[in-house]
Amino acid sequence: MRLLIMGPPGVGKGTQAKGIAEHYGVPAISTGDMFRAMKGADTPLAKQVQEIMNSGALVPDEITDAIVKDRLSQPDAAGGWLLDGYPRALGQVYALDAVLASGEDAIDAVISLTADEEVLVARLLKRAEIEGRADDNAETIKNRMKVYHESTDPLLAIYRDRGLLVEVDGVGGIEEVAGRITAALDAKLA
Which spans of this chain sit near ligand B4P (rule: CB under 6 A)? 9-15, 31-32, 35, 52-53, 56, 58-59, 64, 85-86, 88, 92, 123-124, 127, 135, 144, 172-174, 177
Residue 71 is among the residues annotated as catalytic for this protein: no
Report the residue number, 104 or 118, with the smaller CB distance to ligand B4P. 118
Closest approach of ligand B4P to the CB of residue 97, in Å: 15
Reference 32, options 19, 16, 50; nearest CA is 50
Q: Which residue is nearest to ligand B4P (CB)?
A: 32
- Which spans in 56-153 are helix H? 61-72, 90-101, 117-131, 138-147
How do beta strands 81-84 and 109-114 pair? unpaired
Compute and round to an integer the Cα radius of gyration of the chain. Answer: 16
Whether 111 contacts 164, CB under 8 Å? no
User: What is the rounded CA–CA span in Å between residue 7 and residue 11?
Assistant: 6
Candidate list 18, 36, 69, 127, residue with the active-site label: 127
Closest approach of ligand B4P to the CB of residue 127, in Å: 3
User: Is the torsion defined by CA of 26, 31, 11, 189 positive or negative?
Assistant: negative
Residue 123 is among the residues annotated as catalytic for this protein: no
User: How buried is 127 (Cβ within 10 angstroms: 0-12 exposed, 13-18 middle, 19+ buried)?
Assistant: middle
Candidate list 133, 160, 180, 188, residue with the active-site label: 133
Closest approach of ligand B4P to the CB of residue 60, in Å: 8
Report the residue number, 71 or 123, with the smaller CB distance to ligand B4P. 123
Residue 160 is among the residues annotated as catalytic for this protein: no
Residue 127 is among the residues annotated as catalytic for this protein: yes
Candidate list 13, 71, 123, 180, residue with the active-site label: 13
Closest approach of ligand B4P to the CB of residue 190, in Å: 25
Reference 84, options 160, 12, 165; nearest CA is 12
Q: Estimate to the nearest angstrom the gap between the alpha carbon of 144 and the chain centroid.
A: 13
Report the residue number, 35 or 81, with the smaller CB distance to ligand B4P. 35
Residue 144 is among the residues annotated as catalytic for this protein: yes
Closest approach of ligand B4P to the CB of residue 189, in Å: 23
Q: Which residues are catalytic?
A: 13, 88, 127, 133, 144
